[in-house]
Amino acid sequence: MKVLERRTLIEVTGGDGGSEAASDLAFARYRHDYDDASLDTVLDRAREIRAETATTGERHLGLDHLRRVQELVPEVGRIVHDRDRLERLSELAGVELEPYPIPTSCSGVNFYRPGRPPIAPHRDGPAFVELVPLHADGNQEGGSTLVYRGPADVGAVRAARGDLPASELEAVPQRVGSAVLLQGRMLLHTAELLTDGHRVTLVLSLRSRAEPWKDTNTLGRLLRDDRPEDVAAAWAHDVETRQLPALRRRLPG
Ligand SMILES: O=C(O)CCC(=O)C(=O)O
Ligand SMILES: [Fe+2]
């Protein structure tokens, strides 16, 4: 794994996020060493599953995506739990990471196509995501993730007003062969519109093992994507067995 770039929250947004942040990382970009054949299998299977389960209608953030892919595609399950990967990403993040425990939000595949806004400006629920482009075509070669160069709450207000000029967005290139680790919960971000191309991206969620409460996936937020029977029990289990005990250990006395 060759690191191409690592930027901190202060460098990108002007602030360190205080006690909200899980580490000082804004994003890191690196040449990944995932096996090409495995990633091709993930791409093929993701396309098949999407074709079988194609839905229409309004989606959260306008995103065309698959969820809980680690249970649908064994290669993704293996990547999610790979010890060496977690160690390398933890080093890049500056904090020990764990795979995101709520199955519907642990891994996904996003599909972007020409002329269609890929994903509305947002902050992520999980503290970190690893974005691994599986396929890109067209002039922009996959385009970029666009990160607001200021506090995320300010960016959200400006985005709602349609006032996010390109000059205030940091472009993080998304190229096949490289990957991006993003503290997306602390950054207002979106993706560049592709004029003539597609991108398919594997999204792997992570969070801090020591501070699992640094997680903005409320049950209400999860239910914008998931059915209660698919997510409520896992969310409650995580809050009771991980988030609350970890927070209790931090309480004075
Ligand atoms: O693919 C990208 O450029 C961004 C994806 C993203 O922000 C997400 O899936 O939460
Ligand atoms: Fe995101």
Q: Are 96 and 208 in contact (CB under 8 A)?
A: yes
Looking at residue 164, its pLDDT comes to: 92
| Mutational test site, ligand 1, from 61, 106, 112, 131, max ligand atoms within 8 Å of CB | 131
Q: Supply φ then ψ for residue 192, to 5 degrees.
A: -65, 135
Looking at residue 127, its pLDDT comes to: 98
Q: Are 66 and 134 in contact (CB under 8 A)?
A: no
**Nearest ligand, CA of residue 119?**
1
% of the chain surpassing 90 pLDDT = 91
Q: Are 39 and 134 in contact (CB under 8 A)?
A: yes
Helix (H) or strand (E) holding 231: helix 228-238
CA distances (Å), 66 to each of 16, 52, 107, 123, in order?
32, 11, 8, 18
Residue with tokens 């942040």: 21
Looking at residue 13, its pLDDT comes to: 98
Residues of the chain with pLDDT under 70: 55-59, 62
Q: Is 167 exposed, middle or buried (0-12, 13-18, 19+ CB in 10 A)?
A: exposed
Looking at residue 7, its pLDDT comes to: 98
- Residue 115: count of CB within 10 angstroms of its CB: 8
99: nearest Cα among 130, 75, 123, 72: 130
Distance 78 CA to ligand 2 centre (A): 22
Q: How confident is the model over 10-37, as pLDDT tens digits?
A: 999 999 999 999 999 999 999 999 999 9
Residue of the CA atom closest to atom 9 of ligand 1: 203
Residue of the CA atom closest to atom 7 of ligand 1: 190
Q: Are 169 and 155 in contact (CB under 8 A)?
A: no
Looking at residue 252, its pLDDT comes to: 86
| Mutational test site, ligand 1, from 181, 189, 205, 216, max ligand atoms within 8 Å of CB | 189
- Asked: is 2-217 a CATH 2.60.120.620 domain? The reply is yes
Looking at residue 58, its pLDDT comes to: 56
DSSP state of 239: I
What the block records as the tokens of 5 is 């770039």
| Mutational test site, ligand 1, from 172, 181, 201, max ligand atoms within 8 Å of CB | 201
Determine the Cα–Cα distance for residues 166 and 146; give it in Å rounded to an integer: 9
Helix (H) or strand (E) holding 38: helix 36-52
| Ligand 1, CB cutoff 6 Å, lining residues | 110, 119, 124, 129, 131, 145, 174, 184, 189, 191, 201, 203
Looking at residue 193, its pLDDT comes to: 96
What the block records as the tokens of 225 is 């994507």
Which atom of ligand 1 is least distant from the CA of 112?
A: 1
Looking at residue 118, its pLDDT comes to: 87
**Nearest ligand, CA of residue 203?**
1
Enter the pTM of the model: 0.96
